[in-house]
Structure 1
Amino acid sequence: MDPVDANPPRDSIGAAADAHAAAPLLNCLLREAGEPAEPSAGVHRLRGSGRLLRVRGSRRPTHPEVRTEGVWHALTHTDLVKLVAEELRALTGLANSELPAEMLDSREAVAALLAARAQAPVPEDAYRRSEQSLITGHPYHPAPKARGGGPVTAWLPYAPEAYAHFPLVLLGVREDAVVEEGDTAALDALGSAPPGYRLLPAHPWQLDLVGGELAEAFADGRLLRLGRTAGAAWPTAAIRTVYLSEAVREGGHEGAREAPSTSEPVTGRAPASDLFLKFSLDVRITNDIRRLWRHDLLRLRRTDRAVTEAFAGSPGAWLSDRGYRTAAFAFEELAVLVRDGLGGHAPDGTTPLLAAALTESAEAFPDNPSAHAADPEAWWEAYLRAVVPPALAAFHAHGVVLEAHLQNTVIVCDASGTPVQAVYRDAEGVKLLPDVTRAAGWERLVYCLFVNNLLEIAGAMTEHHPTVDPWPAVRRELERHGDVPEVADLLDSPTLPGKTNLLLRWTGADGAAARYRPLPNPFRRPPGPGGRPPA
């Protein structure tokens, strides 16, 4: 049953939620705490206890079973969470009560999203559908859909997976308290502020989360409520980043899920037709509390200038984080970042799609061009030509380490669905040399671009086209970049770095402190005459 177009019964939603939530959790457990025992039978040995775990499938494992006293026992999602906690205690010697709760919260969030999605009209715009399709989410995170443990009613109206759209709240900040840097002029086009104040848009959920902290500022006049925008924004896959587009109007033709109405008057002008805004949210989503942290904002302009310069003349495109505006008395809580829209970055007649959507199920994103490609090998080669050269050139020629993972990559396709360009985004995740060493930067780039991005796209594509071998094309693409010294070693390396999100969260490590576990390199160059050329 298609959860997008139908209204599935509750037990069907529950089973689907179990499967969506179990797949990434199993991926983490098998990558970080398991080892193959009988690969052909899907059997793995868990390193903490030595127990055997059996699953079906590989890219998105299902139907977990544990062997006890010679008998295989099926695990519910709750059973699986308990098993993971036991294994990690045995493996690390540490206890953690917070992460299992997040795992359960993630599953409940998926169930709520599936139920809401089943009743929401599907947006007409393909790009929006791609951004709002991530029902499974990060395929190697133990709780990719957790929403901070709050009630569903608090976050569901703002959930991209439920096809949400909503107006932004407009605040006025007294001019002597405004802090800003870069080009923030687009914010002033959203409405009007009274004399002595500057306009500051806010995400409604953001205000719900920090409203109590702002009571004094509202009381003494440093902060005013000015109403809300006349038009609506819609949330991208990042949840706290919204797209302001002429395509969405409250009561407009798309009719997707709207946030509940508020008592605030509609006083703002319609949003600009092509603009992204990124907000702070005091909610843990995947590894981090999603605030716009002061230290990141203070280096934003330097980072964005470096990336913009790196993309000058590049075959790829960069969505510039132009600047930010906030209030001095709530620097992180009220910060808003202004980002380029897609206009001018995607050629006329093309369709941008979030790359992460290409790894979701056909039910979640039926528009997937790789699934429908008449020549899948040519499609894959075009994808590689679009995403690899800009990222490698930025690193080698400019010392810019893009966070080129699936959620930061927008792939632009022509009318036939063939990739023609990659658009990258999010200066917050970019690292610059020599702020990090070249070796550390390269490891991060390999993880983001090759493990998180290419391996996942290749895995999804070969599910649709089982006869395609994607790895010779990756080798050929890399061999075109022999000027990058690290490429030869990458082609000959037996392993790739796989990020250990489960252990990172279990041990309470900082979300930015990436730790890696070696994974088999599927595009390793074969030895012999077809392998590495002699020096």
Structure 2
Amino acid sequence: MDRVDLLPPPADAVAHRADAYAAAPLLNSLLREVAERLPEPGDRPVYRLPGGRLLRVRGERRPAEPEVRTAGGWRRVNHTELVKLVAEELTRHTGLSNHDLPAEMLDSRDAVAALLAARDRATAPGDPYLRSEQCLVTGHPHHPAPKARGGGPVAAWLPYAPEAHARFPLVLLGLREDAVVEEGDTAALDALGDAPPGYRLLPAHPWQLDLVSCAAAFEDGRLIRLGTTPFDVWPTAAIRTVYAPANDLFLKFSLDVRITNDIRRLWRHDLLKLRRTDEAVASAFAASPGGAVWLSDRGYRTAGFAFEELAVLVRDGLRDHVRPGATPLLAAALVEGFEGSPLDTLEDPAAWWEAYLRAVVPPVLAAFADHGVVLEAHLQNTLVAVTDDGMPVQALFRDAEGVKLLADVPRAQGWERLVYCLVVNHLWEIAAALAERRPGFEPWPAARRELARHDLPEIRALLTSPTLPGKTNLLLRWTGADGAAARYLPLPNPLAGA
């Protein structure tokens, strides 16, 4: 989130900051999805809510200090009051009640408070890549409860939180060979330790084991405990995906916890199509323009009796993929802000932005146009490698679970998803962060030029359409839609007027 410049006395500092961090994405969701902006004069945008109430905020990209209009003037609302207001307005707007989501909103705020307190005590990693993965205190900028952790006690999840600069060893299990289910290249798992005869190595996330019961399997010998890894892993922004620098390996686990829209389990249907999807993307990137890279989800291993609960996915590391001398950074971290961000020191925003667009846009469009691959190229699935002076030179994409193939979905549906992930979720946020840091800089003409270079039939409509698709995370959660569902509302298209 943007730096909060109104700090109360030290005793209340964490609570005040937590309110501000938690309010920003909730306000973004409310204002985007159900509010009407009014042409009111003044330096604070004013919005009409579905019930007729007026709400004004400070700021645009990360709205703050919400106030409601009363008979006596504008009255400030704190985070708890804001949650109540959102619940009332959504009930009016949808005709539906929802008791779970307001609790998640409050849980998200309390989680932020715990994260801020922990960050104040922790030492950030020296590696700028790891710092970028572990900086997302705000998280998804258009989600009502981006930091909710399932409502469990802080002590259950804080030791594994990337935002708290956590690092920890993995639990090593022995899985009896007759219970092993695997597909793809899982050899990296066998290198993590030694399993006794008749068993295969199965690493587990400590939080994962706290969330599922495998008592019967331990009792009858299908599972045995083999200790922990002799090295620590670092949780990345995805929480359930960890990086092992010593092995240059990413591992993705199942967590039976709702984080943003989904229960973060490795679902059977996704695992069973993993090899087909990953191979299609890898083939697309073999000819990718600009040296872009796909971090392959090589394979998975799990237990037949706990297929989803104990699954672990093996993903490529970084060293063999990042250009020599370049440093990978999480794209979402450029929006959030972190120590060492090139956005804090760049001298020429236009040159930096053009380089960023050249790195990120062509491989996504080429995968779609030439190979029928729809990347989920949102901020958290994209790494951008930069040179010592901060200039982008390469894009790296990840997460086969979110990829769609045009062989399986209508082209129009795939294109809409691509536009949302790449343009609305990704480029729009980077552009806004740049413009905020450099008042007067206009990022959209360069974005329009980059997109116009690509010969896709959909590009002309993208550049002339008055609207872009914006995902309705607040309404999706309020109405209890499936976590994988995507419903969009029209947002003004900044490309059309650029």
Give the TM-score of the pair, scaled to structure 1.
Answer: 0.90
Counterpart residue number, 1:498 = 470
Letter in 2 for 1:456: E
TM alignment of 1:145-156, pairs within 5 A: 145-156=147-158
2:340 is the alignment partner of 1:378: no
Please list, as runs of the form range in 1=range in 2, the aligned pairs for 1:329-368 lying within 5 A after superposition: 329-361=305-337, 365-368=338-341
Q: Cα 1:67–1:168, aligned 2, differ >3 Å: closer, same or farther?
A: same
Q: Aligned equivalents of 1:235 and 1:122: distance in 2?
A: 13
1:488 aligns with 2:490: no
Kindly indicate whether residue 325 of structure 2 is the aligned counterpart of residue 323 of structure 1.
no
CA distance in 1, matches of 2:130, 2:339: 13
Q: 1:39 to 1:239 in 2, by over 3 A?
A: farther
| Counterpart-to-counterpart distance in 1, 2:245 and 2:301 | 21
1:242 corresponds to which residue? Answer: 242
Residue 178 of structure 1 corresponds to 180
State the SS of the aligned residue for 1:142: coil
Instruction: Note the C-alpha offset of 1:69.
Output: 2.2
In terms of mean alpha carbon deviation, does 68-77 or 294-303 score higher? 68-77
Question: How do 1:104-143 and structure 2 match up within 5 A?
Answer: 104-143=106-145
- Aligned counterparts of 1:154 and 1:204: Cα–Cα separation in 2: 10
* Residue equivalent to 1:305: 279
1:421-475 C-alpha deviation (Å, 9 max, x unpaired)? 1100000000001211000000000000000000000000111111211011011
Is the Cα–Cα contact under 8 Å of residues 131 and 339 in structure 2 kept in the other structure? Answer: no
AA aligned to 1:506 is W
Deviation of 1:39 (Å): 5.2
Task: Evaluate the alpha carbon distance shift between residue 2 and residue 448 of structure 1 in structure 2; reply closer, same or farther with a 3 A threshold.
Answer: closer
Return the alpha-carbon distance in structure 2 between the equivalents of residues 459 and 368 of structure 1.
15
> Where in structure 2 are the equivalents of 1:110-509 lying within 5 Å?
110-210=112-212, 213-246=213-246, 272=247, 274-314=248-288, 315=290, 316-361=292-337, 365-481=338-454, 483-509=455-481
1:371, 1:461 within 8 Å by CA — same for their partners in 2?
Answer: no
Q: Decide whether the 8 Å contact of 2:357 with 2:447 is kept in 1.
A: yes
Q: Give SS of 1:195's match.
A: coil
Pairs aligned (count)? 490
Q: TM-score, normalised by structure 2?
A: 0.97
Displacement of 1:343 after TM fit? 1.4
**1-structure distance, mates of 2:41, 2:457:** 37
Deviation at 1:370, TM superposition (A): 2.1
Q: Deviations over 1:467-525 (max 9, x none)?
A: 211011011101111x1110010000110000000000000001111000100011115
Q: Measured at CA, do residues 167 and 46 of structure 1 come closer, stay the same or move farther in structure 2, by a change above 3 Å?
A: same
Q: How does 1:48-67 map to 2 (within 5 A)?
A: 49-67=51-69
Q: Measure how far apart 1:231 and its partner are.
A: 0.4
Alignment correspondent of 1:518: 490
Percent sequence identity is 73
Q: Which runs of 5+ in 2 are unaligned?
A: none
Deviation, structure 1 residue 22: 0.1
**Residue identity matched to 1:333:** E
Q: What CA distance in whole angstroms lies between the structure 2 residues aligned with 1:2 and 1:57?
A: 12
Coordinate RMSD, CA, aligned: 1.4
- Name 2:35's counterpart in structure 1: 34
Residue 345 of structure 1, CA deviation: 1.2
Query: Does structure 2 conserve the Cα–Cα contact (< 8 Å) formed by 1:352 and 1:412?
Result: yes
Given that residues 275 and 339 in structure 1 are in contact (C-alpha distance below 8 angstroms), is that contact kept between their aligned partners in structure 2? yes
CA contact (8 A) 1:371 1:465 kept: no
Q: Secondary structure at the match of 1:311?
A: helix
Aligned residue in 1 for 2:48:
45
Structure 1: distance between partners of 2:229 and 2:158: 20
Q: Which runs of 5+ in 1 are unaligned?
A: 247-271, 527-535
> Contact 1:142/1:502 (CA < 8 Å) preserved in 2?
yes
Deviates more, 1:290-299 or 1:465-474: 465-474
Mapped partners of 2:40, 2:297: distance in 1: 45
Q: 1:384-429: CA deviations, max 9, x gaps? A: 0000000000011100000000000000001110000110000000
